[in-house]
Structure 1
């Protein structure tokens, strides 16, 4: 329903993701906002709060479609602020992995069925072994995984050891290929693990939702791949933990006082922000609002999508009127924004805890820690992560001499039964592979994972009862997942530029929050949270 008369508020927060909720919640705790009518409003285009944090129900199973992790719980001296939000939250480190060799496909190795699933001729899946599976034995997999985590840990050291200018122009691919840890590993590992080692760095693409090279890029803007500056940050230390009950309870806790006050309006898509007017005029899908100040928490992907819009295009009015100052426009254009999707396979039971699959996986199980609680997590013989390769999605392999070639795509499959209690496997796909998967039906995407599991195990597991694929690139209110640093283009100053308000000279101000505006904590939920608090504190500091 539209409304005719403009509605005026002191402050309007655009977007009810975690940064917008954090900003508005902090403001509402201040007496001047709590006691004054029409002092605060939050506008959200979706029919729910949370933004890139969300969940769906499939066959009675909760699937967390967005954020799952706390990236560094912090230390006693410097705790991650998320740890104080909903303190009774359940979380733990992932502690068990089984890795599989790359499959060697042979002619006529499989026959496609009408429903996109597959029957596999086990004798045609190599390399040969006594059972036909591709499991890397635990004694070989342990050093291989140690090399992967050692390599990832070394990237921060590499980034901080050089100047910001050098880190900006150095690709992550070059850094990995020339890492002593990676190069030495070819001499330390037996020859039959070299193909696996060559494909392991792709794991970093899933971590950062950013391309190592052109063939992984989903946008022309990111064809140079992401750069070493990605790791030149001072983020929180501590364990990387999985939130076992999801993030939605954290969202609800942050938004509790806002919901009680009734200051969130859902279904209000922002069409235009006339920031040079007094007051600022915000046109939405239902009409117009005005405000003394606006805090824009729209994702970077949305800002970039609208950045090329021209007034002459009658169907697409520009998001900002007039165009933002050059520095802000440059910041929007200079940062990368990538996609990380999940392919959920939903089952009636966790078959991977049963024979023969359990025995197959136990041969290669590597536990990185002893943090798993047998009472909470059930069968400790089942891995938290299955890691292997598929030839159905393009990948990249890095040779011992640092050169690259097309290769198989690494897949990381999470055992959500051990983490959430639901009999679900969740597979990550990122960058160009994510956008490709989004072009498929759910069943086609699920079949890729099913065929990979069949090849890895050497026998076909049960088919899922349902498949659900997240589609963050297609989501018009996010247009991707989170930001990254593009080689030769992105600089830290571009993130810091968002922290400077735009003053229109008529008493109005436009502010920005979101993970992309964080200098040290971008691409994280805590980065979004802190950015919202940052803008709220700045507003409160200027209150009479």
Structure 2
């Protein structure tokens, strides 16, 4: 969907929505549908700093392959009694629960590895040319045997369930001060796994919980943190939620199609202005005044701010005039906001489906227990996930006694060929490692992953035809990916406080929407969607009370 930059003739509106991400578009679409249904002439405007809609949902094309740079997942499709509302927007879109996975054996430690003053391995990206010497293991000894890999991955999924149970059975005051790291180490399922998995695989088991950093874009330890604020690490309150049940599915056709469906009426009616970066919002009197950088000033009765938490952290003091109330500032400062990046390796063909690579993979493919009574995929079909370990990025080893120390980094690569048909491997990196990858050139990021894949397979693999690194931390209009709970700082009340609009007077309000304002669906697309609807419903309630004013006139 194209959306040209629009120059509005009018500068007075009933409602201005700042940001055309999912929450902003959801708010605008709901307002638009209501006014269409009631045949009213409410005036709506969406201001978006980017040259596209979608916010942290986006895609690019590399060598003809669509790469979804932001959201890819629906975290719980819901049940018949309580469905995830995203599923109603997706009737014609393909979704898939990830099935086959293969785990490569950990590589030997580097011969000349050096550690920094904190004891963490220094990252030493490989040169743009050249690859490490293949390991000496035989092809049939490259992957972790499927029965053991199944136990390792099964432990991870049981960890998630146990963490949710622990968080929800612990008082909020107590959970606030418990680190996720300690919560993991204390879990019986994690401790028991060391008795169930052969000792030769304990190194791999100790590294598995790092996967949670990728899931939550939040650090488990200070060394993974992106900022000093995040140094205490992710807190147990991260999992004290009641999100939607059901499968975790991959959106195969990309979320941009969802955004286009959501925004169609709003965009077609010319209600979105692109390239409109917010400079300031004056909110202490009615109408509220919104100023655009190097451009126009607008007035509105209602303003809904959907700026990402990363932008609010960086600019709230200069954007809002006067400064926001204390509880809003505390919410901005207390919640965490982390980065999850993707490194896409784009190939001319899916070489991993060919011999000898598919023969190596076929010896270790496993399925989640939910798919089959057996975790072993005897057909050795193309897996959706390639998982391995590296010493080239800072990692973490967690022991069942609660001790943690530097270790390998767990790397997960999504096989987009099996999910979307494109010959692409997509690698996730989060937190401090995401910041490090963003500091590298695309070619050096590509070389790091290429060399590790070569080590995993024990032979040279084809060079990528293209590469793309998402770089969400460096994006000035997001400054990260999504929010999380920091030990000792973040509380559920900080998200609830975000939901309370600032009532300027009896007819004007400043509201907030976005995943960071959701009490129980934060860090998700559906959380952003629901928050946008929440703010729209509050405005519609005002409309229905006859309190809407545009240019000083009742409408």
Match of 1:314 in 2: none
Secondary structure of the 2:139 match is coil
TM-score relative to the length of structure 2:
0.91
Which of 12, 20, 44 aligns to 1:16? It is 20
Please give the per-residue CA displacement for 1:99-151, whole angstroms capped at 9, x wherever unaligned. Answer: 12221145489xx99961433322xx3xx533385310112211111111111
Q: How far apart, in 2, do the equivalents of 1:167 and 1:381 lie?
A: 42
In the alignment, is the contact (CA less than 8 A) between 2:13 and 2:300 conserved in 1?
A: yes
> Within 1, Cα distance between the matches of 2:216 and 2:306?
21
Partner secondary structure for residue 386 of structure 2: strand
> 1: CA distance between counterparts of 2:491 and 2:109?
43
**What is the CA distance between 1:39 and its match in structure 2?**
1.2
Contact 1:276 1:321 in 2 (8 A): yes
Which residue is equivalent to 1:158? Answer: 166
User: CA separation in 2, counterparts of 1:344 and 1:150?
Assistant: 29
Partner of 2:404: 404
Structure 1 CA distance for aligned equivalents of residues 371 and 20 of structure 2: 35
CA contact (8 A) 1:68 1:247 kept: yes
* 1:72 is aligned to 2:76: yes
Query: Which of 289, 295, 305 matches 2:304?
Result: 295
* 2:47 equivalent to 1:43: yes
Distance in structure 1 (CA, Å) of the matches to 2:297 and 2:171:
47
In structure 2, the residue matched to 1:171 is 179
- Partner residue in 2 for 1:201: 209
**Counterparts of 1:3 and 1:17 in 2: how far apart (Å)?**
20
Q: 1:106 to 1:253 in 2, by over 3 A?
A: closer
Q: Is the 8 A contact 1:28 1:34 kept in 2?
A: no
CA distance in 1 between counterparts of 2:93 and 2:235 reads 34
Map of 1:368-447 to 2, 5 A cutoff?
368=368, 381-447=381-447
Task: Tell me, yes or no, if the aligned pair for 1:100 and 1:136 is still in contact at 8 Å.
Answer: yes
CA distance 1:87–1:259, change in 2 (3 Å) = same
Contact 1:103–1:134 (Cα < 8 Å) also in 2: no
Query: Within 5 Å, which residues of 2 pair with 1:250-289?
Result: 250-285=258-293, 286-289=295-298
Q: Does the CA contact (< 8 Å) of 2:214 and 2:340 recur in 1?
A: yes
Partner of 2:242: 234
How many residues are treated as equivalent by the alignment?
523
Q: Which moved more, 1:330-339 or 1:447-456?
A: 447-456
SS of alignment partner, residue 367 of structure 1: coil
Query: How far apart, CA to CA, are the structure 2 residues paired with 1:337 and 1:113?
Result: 26
Question: How far does residue 356 in structure 1 lie from its aligned partner after superposition?
Answer: 0.5
Question: In the alignment, is the contact (CA less than 8 A) between 2:218 and 2:430 conserved in 1?
Answer: yes
> Mind listing any 5+ residue stretches in structure 1 that lack a counterpart?
310-317, 373-378
- Mapped to 1, the partners of 2:50 and 2:39 lie a distance apart of 28
Is 1:102 matched up with 2:106?
yes
TM-score, scaled relative to structure 1: 0.92
Structure 2: which 5+ residue stretches go unaligned?
A: 114-123, 373-378, 547-555
Aligned partners of 1:297 and 1:513 also within 8 Å: yes
Note the alpha carbon deviations across 1:231-273, whole angstroms, 9 max, x for none: 0000000000000000011000110110121111111011100
